[in-house]
Structure 1
Amino acid sequence: MVDVLDGAPVLSCLGATQQTALRGMKARVNILEGAIRSGKTIVSLLRFLIAVVFARGGAIVVVARTRDSAYRNVFAPLMDPALFGRLAFLVSYNSGAPTAKILGRTVHVLGASDAKAEKVLRGLTVALAYVDEVTVIPEEFFTQLLGRMSPPNAQLFGTTNPDSPAHWLKVKFLDRIGTDLVGWVSFHFTLDDNPGLTEQYKLSIKAEFTGLWYKRFVLGEWVAAEGAIFDMWDPDIHTIPWDDLPEMQELIAVGVDYGTTNPTAAIILGISAEHDGYGRPRRRLFFVDEFRHDSKTAQQKLTDAQLSERLRAWLDENHLPPSTGTRLRPRYVILDPSAASFMVQLHSDGVTAAQADNEVLYGIRTVASLLAAGKLLVARPTTQNPDRGCPGFIAEAPGYAWDPEATLKGVDKPIKVADHSLDGGRYSVVTTERIWRSRIDFALAA
């Protein structure tokens, strides 16, 4: 079975759990679940490559929440010679493209970001499917996919981190394996199941997750989201006086959460130019300044044109203290994806805004992990500069909580109250991740 992968470097570093899964993934549906960085994705890709050679009678599909995430989590590893040796050169995919080539076979790459996505499956007969992060795929899509797997010996390989114990995947499928559900197998992974991780790296991962994320992504537990989202938040640890901000390498972006009756909030994300005692880069992210207009508090509802004028005037101000010796303007304007009219207004006023990545849970998790790891700090107003810093973010962070009604339905969803600066900050962090991730020492992984 492993002949097709002869010489692949990854074969030499499989742990006992990966080897058991590789041998055991013979069912119609094979699910690997558990902690991040536990080796489940790599071994599932190994098994998927073998299955590609033998798939007959229908299409081969790779499914992820978006095609970008399919590239990041599936194709990037497959095309890495350090993992798959010469086979990596037999896999080709451009991020966002509808098809890929694997071992000479055409593979359909499907994004499943909402319930309507199941329409793309209609008409397909599926012989082989790989599903990245099953729990973020809509149930309707997954059910449709199962129904399309009609050829004899059709198989599905899926990976996921744990989610709510009430999630449809667990309740309707995983909990029934071994009882009345046939043709399914699952394999559980923990962080320690990956022999390729150093103890130092494991400690870093454990330090970067707290609360819910620690239980799910480190311990591999299916636990409900409840209570505070940023349960690690401590203003004494996570804020810095605006006057004490370090020199910034650049102000990467301003994230804008647009409101009409609700406040409009904009948060500037910067990356520092800090170095350690040996002169090595020690960069961190900072929310350096904030714009807010609350029509209720101000008793004045602004038109899009008026709001654009005020935001642009604020962007032209100096957002860094004189001690840094720099005056920078954010490189990008990242806008709430629902704010179509405001985007048009900004464009007419000469400001090109990019639509924010609004993958809410990933964004919350990323911001929370950055805070927990000490890689993201928030500037607070000072007596000397009371109008600078991010008071809205600081005020909203402690009360940001999971919606208990959504939790009962197996859905992780924040309560949509007093989250405007938080959303603006999340937009700026997640949408510019490709820019800052390579510059700071941060190991968050899926």
Structure 2
Amino acid sequence: MSPAAIDLPLSRKQIDFIGRSTARINLAHGSVRSGKSIAVTLAFFIAVSRAPASGLILCVGRSLATIERNVLEPMQDPELFGPLASQVIHTRGATTAIILGRTVHLVGAADARSEGRLRGLTACLAMADELTLLPEAFVKQLLGRLSVPNAQLYASTNPDGPSHWVRRDFLAREDELDMRSWHFTLKDNPSLTPEYIESLSSEYTGLWRKRFLEGLWVAAEGAIYDMWDEDRHVVDTLPQMHRWVAVGVDYGITNAFAAVLLGLGTDRRLYAASEWRYDARHQRRQLTDVEYSERLRGWLRNVPGIGPARPQFVTVDPSAASFIQQLKRDRLTPTPANNSVLDGIRTVSSLLATDRLKVHSSCRGLIAEISGYAWDDKAAEKGEDKPIKAADHSCDALRYGIFTTRPLWQQKLAIAA
């Protein structure tokens, strides 16, 4: 099968990847929406049609759900793959798919233990979605299993830090390995309109702009919310609220306890509308879970300047197991927050950058924290992206409330946060 069998508008970079990805390791990296994923998917699709009969064919990703969303669904889209879409057969939740008559095994790799799933198998072909998100041990085990003569790996990824193992062990050693890489930018995706590119550019700032738009392998440094402007983001008056989306809670015993009330305004913006904090160090008295629950519920019954607020979700620091149980006993129905730190920070960053998130002036703890919220330089030296764990309690509460409830507000705001 040749690329011409699939009637898609392709850029020169995409065509070059499909036509010249003949090495053992073929990696497309670069900015988001740059067309790298479709190029890798097409190349893998063609490679399946040519794969030797011996050895397994694998498609790996962070989870089965991400493989289905990022790889199989595009393959099954007639607008992308035309009549060949019917040659991709998969039942959602199944760990195999049939592509061009060949069985493809779908392997999720959420943590280092996942590499055990590869032991003992022999593979002739593999595709890896979002390579930097996969455990290093898993990927190296995968390469060891690609032992059939002329076996190949096709992979795509956004950049990470300069010390990430993908850059250190592969990209930096490309000349020493049987490997080829392609760097993709937004101009390499012919389907993007100028309006979309402009909209995307407004959503990414700081670290995210460098990595996800410019496609650079750069370290996290400086302010996390570098787009924060108190004159621009802080308001004294709240609009009418369409709904109270959530209260995000960062639980603290010796550290500060912070709760941030999140509302969706009729002006299609999110608002950190009010905040309740208790700092045991300043008060010189620790509260019990029962007391925290009582005071949190009392605050929600009469939020200053707002009155009663009944948020749809109470999103709580997932590590606060005893407090979550106490809230359940008190019939507040808590939800353990989604604590994907980097994804949550990126979502908040996008909302601030596009003026879709405002903070009421009464949220003094949050306002004080957010301007000083910074990346940890020592962690960056180790190749890790982590915020400094100090004076971040209201920032965490805000992130919990926003990121955990995306389905409630994302379409209303009409942005890709």
TM-score (norm 2): 0.91
CA 1:28–1:403: 2 relative to 1, 3 Å: same
Matched, 1:264 2:249: no
SS at match of 2:371: helix
Encode CA deviations 1:34-75: one digit per residue, 9 max, x unaligned.
Answer: 111110011111122223344443443333333443344333
Whole-Å separation in 2 of the counterparts to 1:204 and 1:301: 47
Matched, 1:362 2:362: no
Encode CA deviations 1:133-184: one digit per residue, 9 max, x unaligned.
Answer: 2112222222222222222333222111122122111111111112x112x1
Q: Which residue of 1 aligns with 2:181?
A: 186
Whole-Å separation in 2 of the counterparts to 1:320 and 1:82: 52
Whole-Å separation in 1 of the counterparts to 2:102 and 2:304: 53
Whole-Å separation in 1 of the counterparts to 2:338 and 2:163: 27
With 34-43 and 287-296 compared, the bigger mean Cα shift is at 287-296
Q: Which residue of 1 aligns with 2:46?
A: 50
> What is the identity percentage for the equivalent residue pairs of Structure 1 and Structure 2?
50
Aligned 1:71-150 pairs, distance under 5 A = 71-89=68-86, 90-94=88-92, 97=93, 99-103=95-99, 105-150=102-147
The residue type equivalent to 1:293 in the other structure is Y
Encode CA deviations 1:95-154: one digit per residue, 9 max, x unaligned.
Answer: xx3614242554444333333333333344333322222112222222222222222333
2:193 pairs, out of 190, 195, 198, with 198
1:377 pairs, out of 358, 367, 371, with 358
Encode CA deviations 1:375-433: one digit per residue, 9 max, x unaligned.
Answer: 1111221xxxxxxxx22221111111111111112221111111111112112222222
CA 1:31–1:297: 2 relative to 1, 3 Å: same
CA shift, 1:300, in A, is 1.8
Q: Which residue of 2 aligns with 1:278?
A: none
SS at match of 2:8: helix
Please, what is the CA RMSD of the aligned residues? 2.3
CA 1:337–1:73: 2 relative to 1, 3 Å: farther
Matched, 1:164 2:161: yes
Whole-Å separation in 2 of the counterparts to 1:349 and 1:58: 56
Whole-Å separation in 1 of the counterparts to 2:165 and 2:239: 46
CA 1:46–1:378: 2 relative to 1, 3 Å: same
CA 1:233–1:185: 2 relative to 1, 3 Å: same
Matched, 1:245 2:238: yes
CA shift, 1:356, in A, is 2.0
Q: Which residue of 2 aligns with 1:419?
A: 392
CA shift, 1:219, in A, is 1.5
SS at match of 1:13: coil
Whole-Å separation in 2 of the counterparts to 1:286 and 1:67: 34
TM-score (norm 1): 0.86
Whole-Å separation in 2 of the counterparts to 1:73 and 1:319: 45
SS at match of 1:399: coil
Whole-Å separation in 2 of the counterparts to 1:231 and 1:286: 19
User: How many residues in Structure 1 have an aligned counterpart in Structure 2?
Assistant: 414
SS at match of 1:12: coil
1:19 pairs, out of 15, 20, 31, with 15
The residue type equivalent to 1:420 in the other structure is H
Whole-Å separation in 2 of the counterparts to 1:142 and 1:319: 53
Residue pair 1:228, 1:401 contacting (<8 A) in 2 also: yes
The residue type equivalent to 2:172 in the other structure is D
SS at match of 1:261: coil
Q: Which residue of 2 aligns with 1:280?
A: none
CA 1:150–1:402: 2 relative to 1, 3 Å: same
The residue type equivalent to 1:306 in the other structure is E
Whole-Å separation in 1 of the counterparts to 2:327 and 2:102: 45
Encode CA deviations 1:332-357: one digit per residue, 9 max, x unaligned.
Answer: 12222222222222222223222222
SS at match of 1:313: helix
SS at match of 2:216: coil
Whole-Å separation in 1 of the counterparts to 2:108 and 2:18: 26
Q: Which residue of 2 aligns with 1:285?
A: 270
Whole-Å separation in 2 of the counterparts to 1:67 and 1:379: 40
With 132-141 and 70-79 compared, the bigger mean Cα shift is at 70-79
SS at match of 2:17: helix
Residue pair 2:160, 2:217 contacting (<8 A) in 1 also: yes
Matched, 1:155 2:140: no
Residue pair 2:274, 2:303 contacting (<8 A) in 1 also: no
Encode CA deviations 1:224-255: one digit per residue, 9 max, x unaligned.
Answer: 211111111111111212xx211222222222
SS at match of 1:177: helix
Residue pair 1:363, 1:426 contacting (<8 A) in 2 also: yes
Q: Which residue of 2 aligns with 1:273?
A: 266
Matched, 1:348 2:348: no
CA 1:349–1:328: 2 relative to 1, 3 Å: closer
2:302 pairs, out of 313, 317, 321, with 317
The residue type equivalent to 2:90 in the other structure is S
Gaps of 5+ in 2: none
CA 1:81–1:301: 2 relative to 1, 3 Å: farther
Matched, 1:302 2:287: yes
With 152-161 and 53-62 compared, the bigger mean Cα shift is at 53-62
Whole-Å separation in 2 of the counterparts to 1:320 and 1:87: 59
Gaps of 5+ in 1: 275-282, 382-389
Residue pair 2:8, 2:80 contacting (<8 A) in 1 also: no
